[in-house]
Amino acid sequence: MGGDFGPQVTVPASVQALLQYPELKVILFGDQSAITSQLSLLNQLQHPRLSIVHCEHVIANETRPSQALRSSQGTSMRMALDSVSDGQADACVSAGNTGALMALSRYTLKQLPGVDRPALVTAIPTNTDNKTWLLDLGANVSCDADTLFQFAVMGAVLAEQENSASPRVALLNIGEEEIKGNDLVKRCAEMLANSPDINYIGYLEGNELYSGRADVIVCDGFVGNVSLKTSEGVANLFIDSIKNAISTNPLKRLVAKWLFNDLFISLKQLNPDQYNGASLLGLRGIVVKSHGSADVAAFSNAIGEAVHEVKRQIPTKISDRLEEVLLERHY
């Protein structure tokens, strides 16, 4: 039970998700008394599809992954991941320390065959009706072309569940013709172009991230993280700017409430922060990372993301697809 707000958010979010998904069962790993007091507030102490596993310890937000690995015994994160690894649970959702979650996930669940490194992926909004899957978001700061290629395959498996049977895959690159891309991007482009199983559409620039032109956009974790965080920064700047523009005049504030009803809804959709639930893709199990600062609705979305991935058997699909694609590449 991590995240910035702990059971105060994760418990009501779980109850909300249980309402939304009648087939869902939730096991809460954390401090029993803190969880119980939240459940009692919600009058849900006896929920038939909710159980609690008491954990003595928690991995702090500032704990380094290496340290988390060494001292994970008895922590809620480790116990939740173990429950996936031993088949007791189908997926783990956490708002805790990302680095620790990544390290412990790899340690407990292991990668799927053909996956060098798991990737952190999320769906970003676009100005079309479709979402776009962006990966990696920071799990891998340095990648080689093979790793990016695997990201493309894994992202396509996710995107084809919602967008189309043949999702358009692009590489995130920079604009100028000559200096188009570093060696990494160029090598991966060649691999993707030569893979008949992948609908590779070429390079996309940062300004097309939200254009809906691709279903999957692939980059290394450094670039993906900077890009997503930059988006967050610009979005917040816009929202602040709108608030400032109307805050000086009481009449404007009033009118804005009426005028901005639609607007704020659509602005909210554009804030990547609202798209909660980044998946760790490429593991032998489903792990969904929620923002640490997620509120009840956002954490409930992250649980929803896990439910979808379980239903769609994403790890099995990724494993099958990688086998096909890699076989094709080698023979």
Smaller CB separation from its own copies, 36 or 202: 202
Query: Rounded to whole angstroms, how far apart are CA atoms 29 and 254?
Result: 45
Query: Rounded to whole angstroms, how far apart are CA atoms 61 and 69?
Result: 14
Cα distance between the two ends of the chain: 47
Touching its own copies, residues 227-286 (CB under 8 A): 227-238, 240-242, 244-246, 248, 252, 255-256, 259-260, 262-263, 266-267, 270
* Ramachandran angles phi, psi of 325, nearest 5°: -65, -40
Check the CA dihedral 115-222-235-209 and report its sign.
negative
User: Which residues, 6+ apart, have CB-to-CB distance to 220 below 8 Å?
Assistant: 136, 140, 141, 142, 143, 148, 184
Burial of 266 (0-12, 13-18, 19+ CB in 10 A): exposed
Task: Decide: is 128 part of the binding site for its own copies (CB under 8 A).
Answer: no
Touching its own copies, residues 19-38 (CB under 8 A): none
Query: Rounded to whole angstroms, how far apart are CA atoms 305 and 90?
Result: 12
Smaller CB separation from its own copies, 5 or 264: 264
Smaller CB separation from its own copies, 269 or 316: 269
Query: Rounded to whole angstroms, how far apart are CA atoms 50 and 29?
Result: 11
State the nearest-atom distance from the C-beta of 232 to its own copies, in Å: 4
Task: Decide: is 202 part of the binding site for its own copies (CB under 8 A).
Answer: no
Is 47:24 a contact under the CB 8 Å cutoff? no
Task: Decide: is 190 part of the binding site for its own copies (CB under 8 A).
Answer: no
Q: What's the angle, vertex CA 215, arms to CA 212 and CA 219, rounded to 5? A: 100
Task: Decide: is 129 part of the binding site for its own copies (CB under 8 A).
Answer: no
Q: Closest by alpha carbon to 214, among 323, 302, 138, 135?
A: 135
Query: Rounded to whole angstroms, how far apart are CA atoms 295 and 297?
Result: 6
State the nearest-atom distance from the C-beta of 20 to its own copies, in Å: 27
Smaller CB separation from its own copies, 42 or 60: 60
Smaller CB separation from its own copies, 62 or 129: 62
Is 214:169 a contact under the CB 8 Å cutoff? yes
Task: Decide: is 119 part of the binding site for its own copies (CB under 8 A).
Answer: no
List, in sequence order, the alpha helices (H) in 86-209: 98-109, 145-162, 183-193
Binding-site string for its own copies from residue 60 to residue 99, where x marks contact by CB under 8 A and - marks none: --x-xxx-------------------------------xx
CA dihedral 106, 109, 113, 119 (to 10 degrees): -40
Query: Rounded to whole angstroms, how far apart are CA atoms 202 and 301?
Result: 31
Smaller CB separation from its own copies, 66 or 166: 66
Task: Decide: is 53 part of the binding site for its own copies (CB under 8 A).
Answer: no
Task: Decide: is 181 part of the binding site for its own copies (CB under 8 A).
Answer: yes
State the nearest-atom distance from the C-beta of 210 to its own copies, in Å: 5
State the nearest-atom distance from the C-beta of 239 to its own copies, in Å: 9
Task: Decide: is 40 part of the binding site for its own copies (CB under 8 A).
Answer: no
Identify the residue among 37, 52, 222, 274 touching its own copies (CB under 8 A).
222
**Which range touches its own copies (CB under 8 A), out of 12-20, 21-29, 80-88, 179-187?**
179-187
**Which range touches its own copies (CB under 8 A), out of 19-27, 74-82, 173-181, 314-322?**
173-181
Smaller CB separation from its own copies, 15 or 148: 148
Site residues (vs its own copies, CB under 8 A) = 62, 64-66, 98-100, 102-103, 127, 138-139, 141-142, 172, 174-179, 181-183, 205-211, 219, 221-223, 225-238, 240-242, 244-246, 248, 252, 255-256, 259-260, 262-263, 266-267, 270
